[in-house]
């Protein structure tokens, strides 16, 4: 009985360890996903830095060049007092949309929470213990000790 319980306990403990190492909060699958997210975020940072530099140059140009200021004001719908407005269907200004910056994302919880891994391991322990009890039963009429099997009739 004690050996069956220990076997079941070790099987459950081994199951928990494997589940935690592969799918747990610090498991292999989570680490791979975080590495992928780190790469994506690094690429996103590079794109954002390029866009920031381009917008900084554009802002500096607006501040220092009156002609650029006038062009930007017109693109926003401002006109001087002696001008009239003719509204046309605008074409997309592709210079602002040339670089795609991905949206930020959050780290998702691991695919298997620790409590679920413990529940699975506990269930597996109980299953192994029950199977060892069922399969380990001796048939009726079979002697329980080796000494009585060799006794005289």
pTM higher than 0.95, yes or no?
A: no
- In this predicted structure, the answer to whether residue 39 has a pLDDT above a threshold of 70 is yes
CB count in 10 Å sphere of residue 128: 19
Instruction: Look at residue 108 in the predicted model and tell me its pLDDT.
Output: 65
**70-82: per-residue pLDDT in tens?**
888 888 878 888 8
Q: What is the mean pLDDT of residues 40-46?
A: 88
Identify the weakest region by mean pLDDT among 27-31, 68-72, 78-82, 104-108.
Answer: 104-108
DSSP letters spanning 32-88: HHHHHHHHHHHHHHHHHHHHHHHHHHHHHHHHH-HHHHHHHHHHTT---TT------
Q: Which tokens sit at 63?
A: 């501040």
């Amino acid at each position: 009985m004690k050996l069956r319980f220990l076997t079941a306990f070790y099987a459950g403990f081994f199951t928990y360890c494997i589940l935690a190492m592969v799918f747990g909060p610090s498991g292999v699958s989570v680490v791979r996903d975080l590495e992928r997210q780190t790469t994506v975020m690094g690429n996103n940072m590079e794109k954002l830095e390029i866009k920031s530099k381009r917008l900084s140059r554009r802002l500096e140009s607006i501040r220092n060049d009156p002609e650029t200021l006038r062009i930007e004001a017109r693109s926003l719908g401002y006109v001087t007092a002696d001008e009239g407005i003719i509204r046309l269907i605008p074409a997309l200004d592709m210079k602002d949309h040339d670089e795609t910056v991905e949206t930020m994302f959050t780290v998702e919880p691991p695919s298997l929470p620790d409590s679920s891994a413990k529940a699975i391991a506990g269930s597996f322990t109980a299953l192994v213990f029950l199977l060892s009890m069922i399969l380990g039963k001796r048939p009726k009429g079979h002697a329980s000790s080796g000494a009585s099997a060799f006794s005289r009739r």
